[in-house]
Chains A and B, each alone.
Chain A
Amino acid sequence: MTPTIELAGLEVHLGKRKILKDLTCSLSGRTIGLLGPNGAGKSTLINTLLGFHKPSAGTARLLGNDIRTQIEQIRTTVGFMPENDSFIANMTAVGFLRMMAELSGLPEEAALERAHESLYYVGLGESRYRKLGTYSLGMKQLAKLAQAVIHGPKLVILDEPTNGLDPPGRQRMIRMIREMKEAGDLRIILCSHLLRDIEETCEEVLILKDGRVVHYSNLEEERKANLRFVELETFGDDGGFVDALEELGCECAMAGERRVKMVLSEGIEIRDLYRVAESRNVQLRRLSYRRDSLEDIFLKAMETPNGRV
């Protein structure tokens, strides 16, 4: 599969300030999260990928297209939802979307049809003839999402899509992002400083700090791996219990009195642990999986000095 993003020593200067510093990585996931504290360079990276800022060194590829030489191809296949308010206040939503679709190359009739469809899709069907200037903040976010997907792009870049949304609005946005991911071959890059948004929607995460990549994480793999880490608390005479587990092929370590941390080997299920415990006459008082949340990953990444994926 063509990587969604490939960064090769990408550097960007804005004025005399170096914003992005030697970014190198390759991400192939269908939904990629860009995480980082404010000022980490997330939006600059997105703007550079869209050709709004010229790289001062290195290059990047989006869906295999080089941002230095194939920017038009990139803009044809990408939809973008900017972070800030972006619309034309005195246009109706349907008129605005139709214009955006026509600018993306759709013929007039198809553009009008898609404008109606997209507005219904994001839940603005009933308000599609209202002027955008009269929309609430949440409605404007939805209108921005609609314009990003109106031309049926292969990749959608969403910059802080849940900004300014109330909890139901946020849930709805997250649900739509998930639906888009699941429907067809659309890929998504989600840029946010909200860990929950990324955790709920993304397969891969790139964490930026001070314009550098400090951590890469495949959330799907992490979730699977977390299920193999088990912590047990036993009661009673546990002599031989740990040895029996090791005989099954599990890696075990004592984490205090009657507490065992272990990695389940391939083919070993939780029920096997109960079976061993029963045979050794050991009571299992507590069993928990390691939950290394995105927050843990993020906080660890923030502690890390400059790193590279």
Chain B
Amino acid sequence: MAVYKRSYRGYSGPLTSRRTRFLVISRYAARGIFKSRIVTGLFILCFFFPLIMIAGLYLNHNVRVLSMIGMRTDHLMDINGQFFMVLMSSQCSMAFLLTAFIGPNMIAPDLANNALPLYFCRPLSRMEYVLGKASVILMILSCITWIPGLLVFGIETTLSGASWGWQNIRFAAGIFLGSAVWICLLAMLALALSAWVRWKLVAGALLLGVMFVSSGFAAAVNAVLRIQSASYLDPGKILTAIFGKFFNLPLDFGVSLSGGLLAYAIMCGICILLLSRKVRAFEVVK
């Protein structure tokens, strides 16, 4: 329609699928996130360590290159559980740092500008709104956690042979499962804090605070009561325990795999509860 025809006109064209409508939220959120140069820089930085690891794998399997650079040709490093533990710990730490930057931008601006009624007066449920916001964090964090982890695993399998891959398939499972629970928790925690704290800077600081405080609190309880079960309060320790189980590492924090997953589920549940109280078209003040 020409711009000079300024009269009201209805719409009778096609509509997009209802099921994928929440991806509109993700798309616009992602666009907003990558407007920040700091976030873009940090995101790129997150790929350095996996690239170094991939370079290490290449050297490990290439005798000619090793001899050219004057290194031992028989053995550069062991590709075992410890190798993947170092990789995934690093990537999960980077994911945590990145979440502290991107998480507060998710819901806080919509709440601060009272934009939620505009979302929810359309065919979009509260769950889809949260799913849309969470999916963008999950996609970004996936790009720096389990995707490079599995890529490294795949490259090693290609270089060492399929038999190595089958023998160590647990590593792949650990990379995916450990990363999945970690990024789900980070996404939920970031959204919950973003919904409750409207200042972006404070929300980011609070995310860091929650992690460090819970870690410190768990360590203090363990030390005072001479127990190990308080480790379930420390998300970092639970993650290490999950990776340890899959990477065959002798870690004993008193955290079982099933207990750790349950603790994560409870933490995510609390975050969802916090979100359900805040993500509403109108807040009813009692």
Indicate if B122 sits at the interface (CB-CB under 8 A).
Answer: yes
Contact check, B123 vs A104: say whether CB atoms are below 8 A apart: yes
Closest Cβ of chain A to B101, distance in Å, is 16
Indicate if B7 sits at the interface (CB-CB under 8 A).
Answer: yes
Closest Cβ of chain A to B208, distance in Å, is 24
Total interface residues in chain B, CB < 8 Å: 38
Question: A183 to B10, alpha carbons, bound, how many Å?
Answer: 9
Closest Cβ of chain B to A146, distance in Å, is 11
Indicate if B44 sits at the interface (CB-CB under 8 A).
Answer: no
Contact check, A184 vs B8: say whether CB atoms are below 8 A apart: yes
Q: Which residues of B contact A180 (CB under 8 A)?
A: 8
**Assuming A72-B123, A100-B122, is B8 touching A179 (CB within 8 A)?**
yes
**Dominant SS among interface residues on chain B:** loop
Q: Closest residue to B109 on the A side, CB-wise? A: A88
Indicate if B52 sits at the interface (CB-CB under 8 A).
Answer: no
Kindly identify which residue among A53, A78, A90, A100 contacts B118, using a CB–CB cutoff of 8 Å.
A100
Indicate if B115 sits at the interface (CB-CB under 8 A).
Answer: yes
Q: Which residues of A contact B32 (CB under 8 A)?
A: 90
Q: Which residues of B contact A51 (CB under 8 A)?
A: 120
Q: Which residues of B contact A85 (CB under 8 A)?
A: 113-114
Contact check, B3 vs A120: say whether CB atoms are below 8 A apart: yes
Contact check, B122 vs A103: say whether CB atoms are below 8 A apart: yes
Contact check, B109 vs A75: say whether CB atoms are below 8 A apart: no
Which of B110, B114, B123 has the most C-beta atoms of chain A within 10 angstroms of its own C-beta?
B123
Contact check, A117 vs B9: say whether CB atoms are below 8 A apart: yes
Contact check, A183 vs B113: say whether CB atoms are below 8 A apart: no
Q: Which residues of B contact A121 (CB under 8 A)?
A: 6-8
| Interface members, chain A 107-125 (any B CB < 8 Å) | 107, 110, 113-114, 116-117, 120-121, 125
Indicate if B124 sits at the interface (CB-CB under 8 A).
Answer: yes
Kindly identify which residue among B24, B115, B117 contacts A102, using a CB–CB cutoff of 8 Å.
B24
Contact check, A82 vs B117: say whether CB atoms are below 8 A apart: yes
Q: Which residues of A contact B77 (CB under 8 A)?
A: none
Q: Return the CB mask of B89-116 against A: 1 if under 8 Å, else 0.
A: 0000000000000000000011011110
Indicate if A15 sits at the interface (CB-CB under 8 A).
Answer: yes
Contact check, B13 vs A107: say whether CB atoms are below 8 A apart: yes
Closest Cβ of chain A to B4, distance in Å, is 8
Contact check, B16 vs A106: say whether CB atoms are below 8 A apart: yes
**Assuming A82-B117, A183-B8, is B286 touching A15 (CB within 8 A)?**
yes
Closest Cβ of chain B to A214, distance in Å, is 25
B residues bordering A, Cβ < 8 Å? 1, 3, 6-16, 18, 21, 24-25, 28, 32, 109-110, 112-115, 117-124, 280-282, 284, 286
Ranked nearest first, the 3 interchain pairs of A and B with the lowest CB-CB distance are A152-B11, A105-B15, A152-B10
Known: A52-B120, A105-B16. 9 other contacts (CB 8 A): A15-B286, A50-B281, A75-B123, A102-B24, A106-B13, A107-B15, A121-B8, A180-B8, A184-B10
A residues bordering B, Cβ < 8 Å? 14-15, 47, 50-53, 72, 75-76, 78-80, 82, 84-90, 99-100, 102-107, 110, 113-114, 116-117, 120-121, 125, 147, 149, 151-152, 154, 176, 179-180, 183-186
